[in-house]
Structure 1
Amino acid sequence: MTWEEMRPLLEQGTIDTLYMTFWSTLVAVLGGLPLGVLLVLTDRGGPLQNLPLNRVIGVVVNVGRSLPFIILMVALIPVTRSIVGTAIGPTAAIVPLAIGAIPFFARLVETAVREVDHGLVEAAWAMGGGTWTVVLKVLLPQALPSLVAGLTTTVIAVIGYSAMAGAVGGGGLGTLALTYGYQRFEHGFTLITVAVLVLVVTAVQLLGDGAVRLLARRTRTSG
């Protein structure tokens, strides 16, 4: 296969991978952020202490994290088909990608929020701040560098999941590597696909690291 033949395939595969990653990560943030915060707030000694609820959320998150993605994707085929009308293609892959990423990001959010200096939280309480005021004005702003680091890790994990999604017709670079590299023995194509994935992951990591450093400086300055 010549470069002229590979280039349009790689361009479309990269676009599909970024498309799946963006929407899956967005849904993961919308679902994982409140779950992670609730795990902290409802824990023992938390302002919304509710141990039964905390344990239920914890079990759901742990089960979601423990399932291998390829099994999760196959198990969710009926759900995916009911939501988007098909179980094949980049749009269909977003459903299991997002569901797999939500518990992953939730645990990272929980860890980031628990790292916030408890003295700042107590000071906010002493000034009459309510639960959600403390969350929005203290916990999340102070945890922002760690949250962005967790988001970076989540994006990279989703990119890896999206490559696995190619095994069941999810589209993107994973499908290209399987279809052309493995089934058609185009080993050079496989190497180029891997190189593109490495470049994408590296770019995400560099952007994430830069954002974390910038936010950390701002947090220290404001503190």
Structure 2
Amino acid sequence: MILAVLCSFGIEAQQVNMDLFKSMKARSIGPGAMSGRITAIDAIHENPNIIYAGSASGGLWKSTSGGITWEPIFDNEKVHSIGAISIYQKNPNIIWVGTGEGNPRNSLNMGYGVYRSLDAGKTWQLMGLEKTRAIHRIIVHPDDPNTVFVGAIGSPWGEQEDRGVYKTTDGGKTWNKILYIDTKTGVGEMIMDPNNPNKIFVNMWQHRRYPWFF
């Protein structure tokens, strides 16, 4: 309930000594904009000044200065929600990006599949998996850029068959679902053993969000 109180009174202007504010500096006090959260980061190992950062609803950004300056490189695509980034380190011109943030919060943003760039982010190609809605992790095989694992957490607003782990061995032309639990359970985390790329650990997360409570 909001109460409004109307008062009638006189207002007298007062002089303010501005010298009192000379030593003060401006600082941000909000609001904490939802679009500002960063959901994924990857960098080139041999040149760590080149960094890619994906945001919940602000697209994909690239820095070649170690984070001093940034430029948007995903603005021409159909969706601006980024959930995962993976660079093929043996040829860092090859970058895979999964759209749709993997945080099943009340203000999350949905995606539209997985994208690949062959020219360090200048151009992008949609490589399928549009129905996954939210891709939380991507891993490119360290020795084969055509072998890619995609972990889809899926949309938290309902049950769907498109959750789970997908694998391609032909650069995204075809995908096989290699791990699936049920329509309520998606990928919460996925990592590869750095000493054995055949060993992958996956955390599956059952979750459901509703619009009417937090």
Q: Which has the higher helix share?
A: 1
State the TM-score bracket (shorter-chain normalisation).
under 0.3
State the structure with more CA Rg: 2
RCO comparison, higher one (Cα < 8 Å, 6+): 1
TM-score (norm 1): 0.23
Q: Which has the higher strand share?
A: 2
